[in-house]
Amino acid sequence: QVQLVESGGGSVQAGGSLRLSCAASGYTYSIYYMYYMGWFRQAPGKEREAVAAIATGGGFTYYADSVKGRFIISQDNAKTTLYLKMNSLNPEDTAMYYCAAKSSRGGRWNAGYNYWGKGTQVTVSS
């Protein structure tokens, strides 16, 4: 089992920045074999959407078009902490942000995640 705990959310004005963190814990074996780590978000009344992901082995990154060029996903060398640096935030970025991990290699980068955190709220005011 893998446990994911997000932190770093908060309230910020449009144009500001935040950095989210996700701490992964559990069996070292389990964490090591997470092939993808990602961030998702869900705004009130909207479906959950994938924001960004990283292939933990090679470090390749993926981004939703809506955040490309503004958000940066990264991980520490031990693969136990995932980050999301969010720049040039706008009110449309307001949502609950979730960290997720995927233990399978196949499929799309934005689907098939089997471990989830409880989320951290990000609110951007205009």
pLDDT, tens digit, for every residue of 58-106? 889 999 999 999 999 999 877 789 999 999 999 999 999 999 999 888 8
Tokens of 89: 């935030």
What pLDDT shows up at residue 30?
62
Question: What's the mean pLDDT when you consider all of the chain?
Answer: 93
Asked whether the predicted pLDDT for residue 31 surpasses 70, the reply is no
What sign for the dihedral angle of Cα 8, 29, 48, 77? positive
Residue 70: Cβ within 10 Å count: 15
Mean pLDDT of 110-119: 95
Give the per-residue pLDDT at 47: 97
Q: Higher model confidence: residue 56 or residue 20? A: 20
